[in-house]
Chain A
Amino acid sequence: MHTAKTLFRTASLTTLGSLLLASGIAVAAGTAGPSFTDPTARLSGGTAITRGALVYIGPFAALTAANGNKISIGDASNVQDNVTVDATRGSVALGNEVILAHGATVRSGSIIGKSGTCPSAAAYCPSFVSFNATVDGGTIEKDAMVSALARVGPGVTIPSGRKVLPGKNVTTNAQVAAKTVPVSEADRVFMHDVVHVNTSFAETYTALAAENASNVRGVNYDPGNSDFNPLRNLPTLAGKATRNPNFRNRIIGDVRMHDALDDLDDAMGNSISLRADEREPFEVGSIASMDDRVTFHALEHSHLHLGDEGKYGARSIVHGGATPHENTTITGDNFELGDGAVFFRSRIGADSRVGSRSVIQDSDLPAGTEIPSNTIILGNAVFGRVEW
């Protein structure tokens, strides 16, 4: 049995995070490989939009370059489901290993992952913009992070090694210290592995499309053929394995939905991505309503279990991950998630409602819970408000 003494003795040893970073295990930029853009992504700007190797652009991402402005995307970066990149009033530059998570928005004049320094003087390292966060003409340096529903305003620089707290609105450089915390070794391991997962998606979705271009449209297979997901699966709608490349929304992999496709056609808006592109299934009860640009995503070893009669507002996100409930993210029946809200690695009982642009993360909430709009809940406690 280990003791406090044993553990303290190890304190002077190199920690796992710095070992991984120093070893170069996690560095993906600079590696050749295919890039993949989901056919539902809308890229407007022709040659004004450029991308490097091993880039993954997810369903319904919208990239617009106009008026002589450009969008450049470096190697091993990813632009996930329902991300918006708007370069109509100024160019947007994304460096290597930039992660734009579901629903993030990057506006004209923003620069992400191009300047700053990496740990151990590495040439490449990730930078990260989280769920439904906005970079509105700001600069996010390498090894910097922006948490969910945060905003970084024009002219503001988030320096290497800093993480903007959830919901914060950083409008001046003088606010950076108060509205950020240091990026930890754990954050760095997280970001490097997210880069790896998405470069793997770039390769495996490319292979899936090469077999048959219709495989990456509508209701269809997950890519499989990766180390973490060797099998391919189809969604199951009303008990029936379903493949329909012509459906307007993307339902990918082992998503098991209560509703049949006709029911979903009625209940769903547009630009919706329900993505189970890793092995574990997720189960979705009947949908009362699902507005435009909703994203569901889960991963291997975690599950979504969503109750019946769910209502999901525009740009809302339900995301799985490690939880104390057998790694399952759970909502009870009659759950309502407001516009732009994020429900992440949590459980909530029946007849509950989360207001618009709120974040529920790593929490366990009883039936009948009412969370007001613009509220950040972390670990069952109110962290604060969304400031913008």
Chain B
Amino acid sequence: MVKLTAARSRIAGGLYGSLLFFVLAAASPAQADSGSDAPARLGGFEVVLEDETREIPGRAGRIRWATYWNLAWDAHPQALAYQIETMTSEGVSPKLKTQDGTFIKLEVASGENKKSLGMDKRDLQIALISGQLSYRVRALLADNRAGEWSAHFPVGRIGAPPPWKGGG
């Protein structure tokens, strides 16, 4: 089960942002290891597309904008760090990345154009990247142990594409 909500907010300094939330309600909260053999599992995953738009000083009527894909999860109480695996459409990178934070933030679209065009070609850029790249995450624990891998989260995608209406 998933929950989809939208929000829009304004940030000081002429920066506008909008967020689309895709909350994976089915994901369980982070589970402590609790001394049992149960592997640590991350939970509380949220996937968000975040837009930022700025007016360009000295260039009236033009904007610079970017869209970021954010994946965040709840901190696991026993995690020393988090390990990230990247899957591309050409294969899985043999390099695992390690980070302390509980989020991934990646630019998936950007542009500079007339303000009247809005975020020109934004959706197209996101469609092109969607599914080309995905991440999964696990907790790194003490004694060189690791938790369970999460599901894969395709970069750029916050839900199924709209249904096919024919055409071509």
Contact = CB atoms under 8 A, between A and B. Distances in A.
Contacts of B17: 8, 11
Interface in A172-224: 181-182, 184-187, 189-190, 192-194, 196-198, 200
A197 B105 contact: no
A20 B134 CA distance: 15
Interface string B107-122: 1111100000000010
A197 B129 contact: no
A219 B40 CA distance: 41
Contacts of A371: 168
A299 to B, nearest CB: 5
B88 A193 contact: yes
Interface in A319-369: 319-324, 327, 344-345, 358, 361-366, 369
Interface string A26-59: 1000000000000000000000000000000000
Contacts of B150: none
Given A181-B125, A327-B152, A15 B105 contact: yes
B87 A300 contact: yes
Nearest to B112: A182
A231 interface: no
B164 A25 contact: no
Nearest to B136: A301
Contact of B106 (A189, A297, A319): A189
B94 A226 contact: yes
Contact of A228 (B92, B103, B131): B92
B143 interface: no
B132 interface: yes
A25 B128 contact: no
Interface centre among A25, A165, A184, A226, by most chain B C-beta atoms within 10 angstroms, is A184
Contacts of B74: 1-2
Nearest to A14: B105
A301 B92 contact: yes
Given A15-B107, A364-B164, A371-B168, A186 B94 contact: no
A262 to B, nearest CB: 32
A321 B94 CA distance: 16
A319 B95 contact: no
A28 B65 CA distance: 31
A121 interface: no
Contacts of A11: 17, 50, 52, 68, 105
Given A8-B9, A16-B104, A186-B106, A194 B91 contact: yes
B68 to A, nearest CB: 7
A344 B110 contact: no
A17 interface: yes
B160 A324 contact: yes
Interface string B81-94: 00010111111111
A15 B106 contact: yes
Contacts of B21: 4
A101 interface: yes
Contact size range, B: 35 or more
A322 B162 contact: no
A379 interface: yes
A198 B90 contact: yes
A120 interface: no
Given A15-B68, A25-B97, A364-B160, A189 B86 contact: yes
Contacts of A345: 89, 131
Contacts of B103: 2, 7, 10
A362 B72 contact: no
Given A1-B74, A197-B94, A344-B89, A186 B44 contact: no
B44 to A, nearest CB: 6
A299 B104 contact: no
Contacts of B134: 322
Contact of A301 (B110, B133, B152): B152
A381 B161 contact: yes
A186 B105 contact: no
A269 to B, nearest CB: 25
Contact of A4 (B7, B84, B133, B155): B7
Contact of B72 (A6, A196, A228): A6
Contact of A299 (B91, B127, B168): B91
Interface in B126-168: 127-134, 152, 154-156, 160-165, 167-168
Given A4-B19, A321-B89, A379-B162, 7 more contacts: A1-B74, A15-B68, A184-B125, A184-B129, A189-B106, A319-B89, A381-B127
14 contacts: A2-B44, A7-B50, A11-B105, A16-B105, A26-B95, A182-B111, A186-B133, A194-B90, A196-B95, A322-B132, A370-B168, A379-B127, A379-B130, A383-B124
Interface of B: 7, 9, 11, 17, 19, 21, 44, 46, 48, 50, 52, 68-70, 72, 74, 84, 86-95, 97, 99, 101, 103-111, 121, 124-125, 127-134, 152, 154-156, 160-165, 167-168
